[in-house]
């Protein structure tokens, strides 16, 4: 059920239940069909649970989208710095096989997050561990501060990735909770509509007051 339809469904159910609770001309006849105040209150509680779960679902997905945008921005910023340093380091160590392997300079950059992170982490961990490497890289303008800043960017990107994954999981859980709450409401509310159509089959205006569409079909 698309979100706009859920919003409308919840609003329709709210209208029906509110009017049923507050209007004696609706409440009294429906009580004769088993919908006494206690039963109606239980329906209201189901509606409130579904509405709350639906709002939580929207909130969690908004947080997921925000976390995804933050991660993508952090990774792009980190990658820009990393590629600049990578290209310069390849110039510095083009004839030094040991350093090429130590810093992970050879080969293509991996596209997966885990692969990309591993390659970038290898580079900055190795560079920050040896003064000799820092001295070599500084000859092409890669200062110690630049290396430290880039490593901090990498750590921030990694934190953003984990946040995005956590928010995605919470969004999925919110979807399951919302669907369960809507299913519970739908079963009970569908019964209410069916009973109301019988209770007010000769008084369609009362059905309309509950927000229930008056059917033109005949009985049978």
- Encode pLDDT of 152-194 as tens digits: 999 999 999 999 999 999 999 999 999 999 999 999 999 999 9
Lowest pLDDT segment from 56-70, 71-85, 129-143, 195-209: 195-209
pTM, two decimal places: 0.79
State residue 220's pLDDT score: 39
- CA dist 104 and 80 (Å) reads 17
Mean pLDDT, rounded, of the chain:
94
Contacts of 148 (CB under 8 A, 6+ apart): 128
For the chain, where are the E strands, in sequence order?
A: none
State residue 1's pLDDT score: 56
- CA dist 167 and 64 (Å) reads 5
- Taking residues 41-48, report their average pLDDT: 96
């Amino acid at each position: 059920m698309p979100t706009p339809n859920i919003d409308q469904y919840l609003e329709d159910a709210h209208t029906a239940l509110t009017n049923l609770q507050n209007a004696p001309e609706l409440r009294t006849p429906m009580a004769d069909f088993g919908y006494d105040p206690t039963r109606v209150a239980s329906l209201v509680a189901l509606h409130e649970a579904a509405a709350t779960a639906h709002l939580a679902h929207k909130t969690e997905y908004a947080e997921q989208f925000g976390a995804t945008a933050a991660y993508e921005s952090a990774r792009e910023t980190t990658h820009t710095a990393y590629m600049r340093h990578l290209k310069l380091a390849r110039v510095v160590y083009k004839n030094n096989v040991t350093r090429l392997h130590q810093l992970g300079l050879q080969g293509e950059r991996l596209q997966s997050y885990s692969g990309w992170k591993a390659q970038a982490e290898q580079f900055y961990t190795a560079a920050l561990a040896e003064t000799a490497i820092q001295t070599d890289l500084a000859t092409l303008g890669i200062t110690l501060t630049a290396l430290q800043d880039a490593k901090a960017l990498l750590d921030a990107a990694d934190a953003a990735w984990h946040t995005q994954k956590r928010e995605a999981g919470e969004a999925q859980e919110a979807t399951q909770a919302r669907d369960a709450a809507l299913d519970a409401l739908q079963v009970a509310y569908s019964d209410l509509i069916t009973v109301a159509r019988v209770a007010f089959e000769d008084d369609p205006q009362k059905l309309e007051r509950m927000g229930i569409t008056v059917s033109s079909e005949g009985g049978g």
